[in-house]
Amino acid sequence: MACIYTEHPSEPLAEIRVVGRVTQHDMDEVLPKITAFIERHGNIRLLEIVEVMKGFDTSTILDGIKFDYNHLQHITHAAIVSDISWIGLLTRAAGMIMPVSLRAFPLAEVEAAREWALTADREAANPAA
């Protein structure tokens, strides 16, 4: 399994770690879990850590499009962590057109990415906190 899915124990933060080729099995395992997480929390934040990307099965494309269509409005922030240059470029480009606050981080800054995903915009929304 190339995708490892975890949930923060007390915050609406889901994490997906990619370490290889994303297969249909990965999508069948992860998408129902993240969908249920969204149903429990409403809006969520996402941390995606791409350590190794060896491509994806073409059968996963339609599932990804359907998921985005149905759930993208419930993801407020997404931190994408990778040292793969095209992933950072794609993240920055997508951030200009998507309704999600997206930010790219290098692998060495995974903890900073997690902190950003957990706290971005909260200070502005809760100045007394």
Catalogue the long-range contacts made by 111-115 (C-beta closer than 8 Å, 24 or more residues apart). Answer: 113/47, 113/49, 113/79, 113/80, 113/81, 114/13, 114/15, 114/47, 114/79
**Nearest residue to 80 (alpha-carbon basis) of 57, 109, 60:** 109
What percentage of the chain carries pLDDT values higher than 90?
56
Give the domain range for residue 52. 3-125
Domains in the chain: how many in total? 1
Residues 20-53 pLDDT 10s? 889 889 999 999 999 999 999 999 999 999 998 8
State residue 127's pLDDT score.
40
E strands of 12-126, at which residues? 13-22, 44-56, 75-82, 101-105
Highest mean pLDDT among 35-39, 70-74, 91-95: 35-39
Residues 115-128 pLDDT 10s? 999 998 864 443 44
Task: Provide the CATH number for the domain around residue 98.
Answer: 3.30.750.24
pTM of the model as a whole: 0.86
